[in-house]
A and B are shown apart, each in its own frame.
Chain A
Amino acid sequence: MDDKLLLRLRVEDLLFKEADLLDSWRLDEWLALYTDDAYYHIPPSDVDGDTADPDTSLFYIVDDRIRMQERVIRLGKVGAHSEWPRSKVRHLVSNTLVERDGDVIRARSSFVVWRSKDITSDAFVGHYRHEIVERDGNLMIAGKTCVLDMEALRPHARISIIL
């Protein structure tokens, strides 16, 4: 099998695993997919999400690894009211494109994430930009930007789950 195809399959395995862990609320295991200096970003809809910089534009989510961990801790508490009882979540990931950029593997993929809780059911649509690195022969996520292909978060009021 050619190397490029193999790389895509390895990356897809990782993305599918990430989706499965998020869908089943195994958030500690989800966090373990990320490097210690990882980030998790969601830019707003009125800037170019592919190029926007969270240091100069107001984002929805600007998590470094510390805040990612805090997000996971928070979501495990009854006091995280917006996710208690927990939403039903389903991540669909597809259209994966992968390229090597030095030591980094850059993956772009499409997503639809459904969140359902009591009377509401919302779909988040967009594309992921994953930065992936090899560590001891395994792929790990060094960063993820979720670019929403939406005009606004409406009627969604919140990104209380992890996209």
Chain B
Amino acid sequence: MEGTPGIVDDRVAGRFLVPRRAFTNREIFEKEYAAIFDRCWLYLGHASELPEPGSFLTRTVARRPILFNRDKSGEFNALFNACPHRGALVCRERNGKSPAFMCMYHGWTFGADGHLMTLPGASGYPEGFKTDPQKQMVHVPRMERHGDFFFINFSKDGEDLATYLGEAGDYLNLVSEHSASGMQIVGGTQEYAIRGNWKLLTENSFDGYHAACTHSTYLEYLKNANGALGATPLEGIGIDLGQGHALVEYTAPWGRPIASWVPLWGEEGKVEIDKIYADLQTRVGPDRADRIAHKNRNMVIFPNLVVNDIMAITIRTFFPTAPDYMEVNAWALAPREESEWLRKYRLYNFTEFLGPGGFATPDDVEAIEKCQQGYAVGGDAQYNDISKGMLREDGASFDDEEQMRAFWREWERRLAAAEA
């Protein structure tokens, strides 16, 4: 990394520059795995994805195959999905229900907690072989939950999840409090990839500045088709939550299936939405109900968990497999008790903006991929500018770049700490 330009963070002059090598350099990419993905708390999944004892799912988190399951008493486990014998993936299904997992190679069979239950030809092994700790599936070093959000950490030591989340924890609660009976992941996952560096999607996920230009066609669509563009302006603030977590919180012209009604939903819908809001006020108090119902939040929990509570709620996570390629998973989160009618509109709302077939995400992807291509110019064009709003005295606006600076400062701090 010698000779590599670092981040320029000049709070007096209001200059914040990020070196473009951060998006292209393979050495930096590997350092990110060592200093960030192998050290930070990473989102694994939501409790609702494992609805009953015996439920399981498999998922790749930061390049590692994970088996996430519940045992027969309902306890949650996160195991590395590899057989202690020869290393084959033990569970090869996406999800399902099973009390045990048999490796297809030689038939070693493991319980939900990873312990070796049976192995064919046991007489060929010495006594005590089956209970040897090295012959069991390995648990991910740490797993903790915040409400129904499960996180894992590949490092045995370091801060606990509550400390790591800090102020961001309460913002996760705001999402959970949409529901009296608990939130659930709706069936169906949007699984795609982007030919760009993962940090470009982090930036994009809470970039209030790009909306007017990148998403002009979406805003025109709202005006044209949806009857949604009322008096509600796009305006709000950017908040640095510390430790790399940040968000933008703002009002917007689109409908929100938690109490921001739009004409498209009809008069009957208005009655239902009014009832949801009244119940919410009773449950959490008027101030918190107002925030939950009327404010949009695009939050990034460092390094790569996006929780966007906008015209629907999306949980999104993404991992790089190369400096210029990332795999993205996105889910929809919704109240369990939601009526069929409102669930339909929630999903209709979600797909109009979000995801590979939406009216907005494809243009975000275009922006990300074109940035990545642009970095190839190299030479003297070494920096991205992330300074918007840096000298604003009355706090950052939602369309400033304070939230990105919060991310980048933590990114650099962690890389530097790993080098020290």
- Interface residues of A, Cβ cutoff 8 Å to B: 42-47, 52, 54-62, 66-67, 69-71, 73-74, 77, 79-83, 118-120, 151-160
Tell me the dominant secondary structure on chain A's binding face. loop
Interface residues on B, range: 35 or more
0/1 per residue, B171-200, Cβ < 8 Å to A?
000000000000000111111111100000
Say yes or no: B193 contacts A66, CB within 8 Å: no
What is the CA–CA distance of A57 and B186 in the complex, to the nearest angstrom? 6
Known: A46-B94, A57-B187. A81 touches B363 (CB 8 A): yes
Interface: B356 (CB within 8 A): yes
Closest 6 CB pairs of A and B: A58-B188, A61-B357, A82-B362, A152-B191, A57-B188, A60-B357
B224 close to chain A: CB less than 8 A: yes
Residue interface mask B196-217, A partner, CB < 8 A = 1: 0000000000000000001011
In the assembled complex, B366 has its CB within 8 A of some CB on chain A: yes
A59 touches B347 (CB 8 A): yes
CA A66 to CA B192, docked complex, whole Å? 26
- B268: Cβ under 8 A from any A Cβ: no
- Bound-complex Cα distance A151 to B362 (A): 20
- In Å, the complex CA distance between A156 and B352 comes to 19
Q: What would be 17 A-B contacts, judged by CB atoms less than 8 Å apart?
A: A43-B188, A46-B188, A46-B189, A56-B340, A60-B190, A67-B352, A69-B225, A70-B224, A70-B225, A81-B367, A83-B362, A152-B193, A153-B192, A153-B356, A157-B362, A159-B356, A160-B362
Cross-chain contact A44 with B191 (CB below 8 angstroms):
yes
Does B350 lie at the interface of the complex (its beta carbon under 8 Å from any beta carbon of A)? yes
Shortest beta-carbon distance from A114 to chain B in Å: 16
Check if B192 sits within 8 Å of A156, measured CB to CB. Answer: yes
B residues 293-340 with Cβ under 8 Å of A? 325, 327-328, 331-332, 340
Q: How far is the CB of A52 from chain B (nearest CB, A)?
A: 7
